[in-house]
Amino acid sequence: MIEAKDVSLRYPDGTTALTNISLRIEPGEIVYITGPSGSGKTSFLKLLMGIEYPSSGSLQVLGQTMSKDQAAVIRQLRMQMGPVFQEFKLIKGRTALENVVMGMRFLGLPTKQIYEDACIALAKVGLEHKSLAYVENLSWGETQRVAIARAIARKPALILADEPTGNLDVENALNIMDLLTSLKDEKTAIIITTHATHLIDSSTEGKLLQMETGSICWERLGSV
């Protein structure tokens, strides 16, 4: 599903964000990426989404080579991804349901099915009772759950969540983590960046990657 070979990323201002990242992620895997601020976690997710491109090395995502000359194909590929990123903000003045539906606009599905799938996604995150609430009237945790509903409603092959627990308290953060990991199935990989290593313990299923200054410094299965 994802194969990175010696991938580096240098931003136009000369900052090297990632250095020689090599990894494989298979369908059905849950991968947590942790590391200090500035270690390259978000930059790596941006490469996976085709928001940035590798400066060197090779990266395949869902069978597609991620390179600038493939930008048009990569825009289509994004329909198979469910991003939960802070910068893809929900649209104020619109309801939770409308926000989820907007994330599905380009799927080419009949309108009725879009609304049905959007309602199912909101139910999955426990927010069916808030589907007609304006997003600016929701709590932070509820807003985050709408963002997750928007990501999963399009039934993506790859869920990419950047710091999904933000500054939530432990109980709500655990709920968000449980929710994300419950979305795993044999076809969907889930990648979650987080500072919150205290939420990951020996019972946590998945792979943990620790980043330091642009490199993966260790990786473990199953526990911290």
Write b or e for each residue in 43-71: b if 16 or more Cβ atoms lie within 10 A of its Cβ, otherwise e: bbbbbbbbebbbeebebebbeeebeeeee
Kindly list the distances between the CA atom of residue 191 and the CA atoms of 132, 134, 137, 138, 159, in Å, as whole numbers in the listed order. Answer: 29, 28, 29, 25, 6
- For residue 167, state whether it binds ligand ATP (rule: CB under 6 A): no
Q: Binding segment for ligand ATP among 41-49, 123-131, 144-152, 178-186 (CB under 6 A)?
A: 41-49
Burial of residue 20 (CB within 10 Å: 0-12, 13-18, 19+) is middle
> Taking the complex as a whole, how short is the minimal distance between the CB of residue 165 and ligand ATP, in angstroms?
12
Tell me how far, at minimum, the Cβ of 196 lies from ligand ATP, in Å.
11
Nearer to ligand ATP, 40 or 164 (CB): 40
Taking the alpha carbons at both ends of the chain, their separation in whole angstroms is 24
Q: Could you tell me which residues are beta bridge partners of residue 86? A: none
Helix, strand, coil percentages in the chain from 3-state DSSP, rounded to 5: 35, 30, 35
Nearer to ligand ATP, 125 or 180 (CB): 180
Residue 153 vs 211, nearer CB to ligand ATP: 211
Per DSSP, which regions of 11-126 are E strands?
16-25, 30-34, 56-61, 64-65, 81-84
175 lies in the binding site for ligand ATP (CB under 6 A): no
- Choice from 34, 39, 95, 144 touching ligand ATP (CB under 6 A): 39
Nearer to ligand ATP, 125 or 214 (CB): 214
Q: Is 164 in the site for ligand ATP (CB under 6 A)?
A: no
Supply the minimum distance, in Å, between the C-beta of residue 8 and ligand ATP: 12
Q: Smallest distance, Å, CB 31 to ligand ATP? A: 15
Binding residues for ligand ATP, per CB under 6 A? 11, 13, 15, 17, 35, 37-43
